[in-house]
Chain A
Amino acid sequence: AQTVTQSQPEMSVQEAETVTLSCTYDTSESDYYLFWYKQPPSRQMILVIRQEAYKQQNATENRFSVNFQKAAKSFSLKISDSQLGDAAMYFCAYRSSYGGATNKLIFGTGTLLAVQP
């Protein structure tokens, strides 16, 4: 079974600085998708960024980028120019590319990011 591990329960960053959140996963599959979700205090989860495992190029969405290391099964999220609105719980998630019963997202335990003014 696939697992997702986030080893940093809490992180803190100064406004305008850069922070990297770590995520590792375990799978025997070769094709899958990885996601980072943000959950602000209002509790609605928002998709931040997505990476296809078959793509070597790291995904980027504005100030958010990932460092995807497939061999190491590592998928870190970098937030550049941090803003107060980035403060939230961040979840890393895995999804098999095969349909059917393995369709669901598997989440890590999350990293709580604080942004200091």
Chain B
Amino acid sequence: DTGVSQNPRHKITKRGQNVTFRCDPISEHNRLYWYRQTLGQGPEFLTYFQNEAQLEKSRLLSDRFSAERPKGSFSTLEIQRTEQGDSAMYLCASSPGGEHYGYTFGSGTRLTVV
């Protein structure tokens, strides 16, 4: 098991374009999370999946953001009509069931909107 994998590592896009990020969690983990982190700040929660069900979405996740986790395996996060304010590190994490577990994080996708 190679841990949580995120692709791409870096993405530069022009304002108004759509982008999609992928996260492959640890295979035994049924819980998957997306966070956004801006420079010098802590990660902010975006959304949570348990298996294929999206159980919680943050108010930070505007209508331009959508996330999926088909078949409860990998997940994708899409941002439509990107804005400069979307520039951030997007982190994916996974965990087994049970609140006493911490998360295992991926290395993140750095998005720059120009």
A positions within 8 Å CB-CB of B: 4, 6, 33, 35, 37, 42-47, 50, 52, 91, 93, 95-101, 103-110
Chain B residues positioned under 8 Å from A45 (CB to CB): 43, 91, 93, 103, 105
Do residues B43 and A107 form an inter-chain contact, with CB atoms below 8 A?
yes
8 other A-B residue contacts (CB within 8 Å) besides A33-B100, A93-B102: A44-B105, A44-B106, A45-B93, A100-B55, A101-B56, A107-B43, A107-B44, A110-B41
Query: B21 an interface residue at 8 Å Cβ cutoff?
Result: no
* CB contacts between A and B, total, < 8 Å: 65
Instruction: Flag B34-67 by CB within 8 Å of A: 1 or 0 each.
Output: 0000001111110010000001100000000000
A104 in contact with B100 given A45-B91, A91-B43 (CB within 8 Å)? no
Q: How large is the interface on B (under 10, 10 to 19, 20 to 34, 35 or more residues)?
A: 20 to 34
A110 to B41, CA, bound (A): 7
Do residues A110 and B102 form an inter-chain contact, with CB atoms below 8 A?
no
Chain B residues positioned under 8 Å from A4 (CB to CB): 42
B102 → chain A closest CB, angstroms: 4
Query: B89 an interface residue at 8 Å Cβ cutoff?
Result: yes
A47 → chain B closest CB, angstroms: 4
Do residues B31 and A103 form an inter-chain contact, with CB atoms below 8 A?
yes
A108 to B43, CA, bound (A): 8
Taking a contact as CB atoms closer than 8 A, the residue among A96, A97, A107 that contacts B42 in the complex is A107
